[in-house]
C-alpha cells in the first residue's frame, strides 16, 4: 500500500484528480470535463453542482483503492472564481465565468467612484477587466442583483471552496486574493479602500497561510487537508523553494503566464495595457507577471488550419519539426502568411484588434501553415516574457505546462531566446506538484525536495536565427 497525497487540479476546461507518491510522481489520474451551464443571465458558467459532486465522489472512490493510503489532500484551481455561500453553507450564486461581459455602465460607475482605471490598476497591480477581477463580481452582485447579494454570507475563492467541502472551515488565502482580483492594495499591503467603503469585508473569511493544514477525519482515518492555492501561483512554489538565484517561470496552457519573482519595477500604465500585472506569492510578496492568451489562440488557429486542409483537429500532434521549412518561412517573411492574433483582443502584449488574417491559400500544406503559426506564437510569447522580465538581470527561464509537449514550439522559443538558459521539468504537472508541496511538512517531511524536481535543458536550433524575426 503506497502512501499518497490527493490533489484536485481544476482548470477551466479539464478537471484532474491526481494521486502522487512520496517522490511526487503521479501514480493515478482521472481527467474529466463538464459541460458549462447557463448562469442567471444565460451566459455559460462552471457546472458547480456536478463539479462538487464529482470531487466528493472521486475522493470517496480513491479512498477505497486497496493499493493507496491517502494521507493528505489539497486543491488548486484557476483564478477569478468566487463561490458565494448562503447562511446554510450552500452556493447562492453561480460561479460566474471570468469571460462574461461586465456591464459598461457599472464598470464606469466603479471607476468614477474609486479613482479611474489607471490609478486603480496601479494600486491593485492588475488591469481592470470586470469579471476577471473577482472583487468586481461582488460589486456586480451588490448593484445589479441586490436580492441575491443580500443572501451572501461568505465569499470563498474557488480553491478555498473545495477545501471548505472537506473541512467545513472557511478561509481566505493570499495567492487567491492576489491573482488579478482588484481586492488587494499592493502599495498598502492590505485590502483596497474600495472593499472597505463597499462594506464587503464581512463576507471574506479570515486570511491564513498558504501552507496551513487542517486535520480531518474521513471514516476511520485522520487526513491532513490543505486550504487550496491558486493554480499558477502553485506552480511557482517548487521553484521558489529550490532556487535562490534569479529566474523566470512561464506556465503554459489556455493562458500562458510568466512569473518574475525577482522583478522590482513598479507597474507603468503601458505595462498594465499590455497585460502585465502583479500576483502575490505564498510569502506574501508581489511577483511581476505577464499574461497572454496563447493556448486559446493556438486552439483556434490549428483548428482553422485543420479545417482548411481537411485534417483532424489533433493532426498537429503528428507534425514533426522541419528546420528547412522554418528557414524558408523566415526568409520569405511574407506578411500575408503571418498569423496575427485573433483571440487576444484586450489581452496580451498586443491587445488591439488585427483585421488581417493569414491567407491559408498561400500555404502548400498543413505542415507549412502550422510551422508559420508557431513561429508567430513564439514571437508573441517572447514579447510577453520580456514584459515580465522588465529591468531584472536574469537569463534563466523555466518552461512548464501544456506547451512543453509541443516540440516545434519549444525548439523555436529556445532559438528566439538564444541568450537564455531554458529548462523544462521532467515532472508532469508543476501545478499539482506545487499544491502537493504546500503539504510537504504535514505528511512527507522525510523526503528531500531538491531530489524531487528534475529538468532537461532546451537548446536552440543552431541553423535558425529567430532573434530578428518580427510579426509586425
Buried b (16+ CB within 10 A) or exposed e, 214-243: bebeeeeeebbbbbbbbbbbbbbbbbbbee
Q: How many Å separate Cα 302 from the centre of its chain?
A: 21
Q: What is the pLDDT of residue 95?
A: 97
Q: What is the pLDDT of residue 329?
A: 97
3-state secondary structure of 117: helix
**Nearest-angstrom CA–CA distance, 427 and 416:** 25
Average pLDDT over residues 459-464: 93
For the chain, list the domains and their CATH numbers. Answer: 2-227 (3.30.420.40), 230-472 (3.30.420.40)
Q: What is the pLDDT of residue 428?
A: 64
Q: Is the pLDDT of residue 461 over 70?
A: yes
In this prediction, residue 347 has a pLDDT band, given cuts at 50, 70 and 90, of confident
Where do the DSSP E strands lie in 161-240?
172-173, 184-185, 190-191, 207-208, 213-218, 221-226, 229-230
Average pLDDT over residues 25-42: 95
Q: What is the mean pLDDT of the chain?
A: 95
439 is written with which cell numbers?
Answer: 503539504
Check: CB of residue 420 under 8 Å from CB of residue 283: no
- The per-residue pLDDT for range 348-402, each reduced to its tens digit, is 899 888 889 999 999 999 999 999 999 999 999 999 999 999 999 999 999 998 9
In this prediction, residue 211 has a pLDDT band, given cuts at 50, 70 and 90, of very high
DSSP sequence for 258-301:
EEETT--PPPPHHHHHTTEEEEE-TTS-EEEEEEE-HHHHHHHH
Q: What is the pLDDT of residue 2?
A: 95
**Nearest-angstrom CA–CA distance, 231 and 235:** 6
Residue with cell 495595457: 273
- 323-332 vs 366-389: helix crossing angle, rounded to 10: 70
In this prediction, residue 219 has a pLDDT band, given cuts at 50, 70 and 90, of confident
Q: How many Cβ atoms from other residues are within 10 Å of residue 261's Cβ?
A: 22
Reference 357, options 341, 370, 379, 334; nearest CA is 341
- The per-residue pLDDT for range 135-175, each reduced to its tens digit, is 999 999 999 999 999 999 999 999 999 999 999 999 999 99
Average pLDDT over residues 296-324: 97
3-state secondary structure of 250: strand
Average pLDDT over residues 325-339: 97
Check: CB of residue 54 under 8 Å from CB of residue 32: yes
Average pLDDT over residues 291-319: 97
DSSP sequence for 14-65:
-EEEEEE-TT--EEEEEEE----EE-TTS-EE--HHHHHHHHHHHHHHHHT-
- Per the document, the length of the chain is 472
26 is written with which cell numbers?
Answer: 503521479
Average pLDDT over residues 422-443: 90
Q: What is the pLDDT of residue 97?
A: 96
**Nearest-angstrom CA–CA distance, 323 and 332:** 14
Record the pTM: 0.90
Amino acid at each position: 500500500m503506497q502512501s499518497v497525497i490527493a490533489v484536485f487540479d481544476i482548470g477551466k476546461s479539464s478537471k484532474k484528480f491526481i494521486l502522487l507518491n512520496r517522490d511526487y510522481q503521479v501514480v493515478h489520474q482521472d481527467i474529466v470535463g463538464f459541460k458549462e451551464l447557463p448562469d442567471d443571465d444565460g451566459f455559460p458558467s462552471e457546472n458547480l453542482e456536478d463539479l462538487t459532486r464529482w470531487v466528493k465522489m472521486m475522493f470517496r472512490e480513491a479512498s477505497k483503492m486497496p493499493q493507496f493510503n491517502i494521507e493528505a489532500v489539497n486543491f488548486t484551481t484557476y483564478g477569478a472564481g468566487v463561490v458565494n455561500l448562503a447562511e446554510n453553507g450552500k452556493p447562492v450564486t453561480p460561479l460566474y465565468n471570468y469571460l462574461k461581459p461586465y456591464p459598461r455602465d457599472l464598470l464606469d460607475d466603479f471607476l468614477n467612484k474609486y479613482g479611474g482605471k489607471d490609478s486603480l490598476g496601479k494600486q491593485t497591480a492588475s488591469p481592470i477587466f470586470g469579471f476577471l477581477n473577482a472583487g468586481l463580481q461582488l460589486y456586480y452582485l451588490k448593484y445589479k442583483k441586490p436580492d441575491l447579494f443580500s443572501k451572501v454570507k461568505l465569499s470563498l475563492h474557488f480553491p478555498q471552496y473545495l477545501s471548505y467541502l472537506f473541512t467545513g472551515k472557511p478561509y481566505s488565502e493570499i495567492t487567491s486574493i492576489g491573482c488579478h482580483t482588484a481586492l488587494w492594495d499592493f502599495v498598502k499591503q492590505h485590502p483596497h479602500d474600495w472593499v472597505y467603503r463597499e462594506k464587503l469585508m464581512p463576507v471574506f473569511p479570515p486570511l491564513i497561510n498558504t501552507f496551513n493544514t487542517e486535520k480531518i477525519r474521513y471514516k476511520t482515518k485522520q487526513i491532513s487537508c490543505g486550504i487550496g492555492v491558486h493554480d499558477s501561483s502553485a506552480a511557482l512554489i517548487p521553484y521558489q523553494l529550490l532556487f535562490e538565484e534569479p529566474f523566470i517561470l512561464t506556465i503554459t496552457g489556455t493562458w500562458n503566464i510568466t512569473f518574475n519573482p525577482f522583478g522590482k519595477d513598479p507597474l507603468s500604465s503601458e505595462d498594465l495595457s499590455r497585460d502585465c500585472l502583479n500576483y502575490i506569492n505564498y510569502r506574501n510578496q508581489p511577483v511581476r507577471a505577464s499574461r497572454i492568451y496563447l493556448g486559446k489562440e493556438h486552439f483556434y488557429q490549428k483548428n482553422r488550419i485543420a479545417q482548411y486542409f481537411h485534417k483532424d483537429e489533433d493532426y498537429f500532434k503528428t507534425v514533426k519539426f522541419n528546420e528547412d521549412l522554418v528557414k524558408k518561412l523566415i526568409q520569405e517573411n511574407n506578411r500575408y502568411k503571418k498569423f496575427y492574433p485573433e483571440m487576444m483582443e484586450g489581452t496580451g502584449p498586443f491587445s488591439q484588434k488585427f483585421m488581417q488574417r493569414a491567407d491559408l491559400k498561400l500555404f502548400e500544406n498543413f505542415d507549412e501553415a502550422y510551422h508559420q503559426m508557431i513561429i508567430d506564437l513564439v514571437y508573441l510569447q517572447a514579447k510577453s516574457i520580456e514584459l515580465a522580465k522588465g529591468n531584472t538581470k536574469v537569463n534563466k527561464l523555466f518552461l512548464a505546462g501544456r506547451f512543453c509537449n509541443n516540440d516545434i514550439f519549444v525548439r523555436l522559443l529556445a532559438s528566439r531566446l538564444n541568450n537564455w538558459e531554458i529548462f523544462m521539468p521532467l515532472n508532469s504537472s508543476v501545478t499539482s506538484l506545487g499544491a502537493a508541496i504546500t503539504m510537504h511538512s504535514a505528511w512527507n517531511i522525510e523526503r528531500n525536495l531538491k531530489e524531487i524536481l528534475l529538468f532537461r535543458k532546451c537548446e536552440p536550433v543552431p541553423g535558425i536565427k529567430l532573434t530578428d524575426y518580427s510579426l509586425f
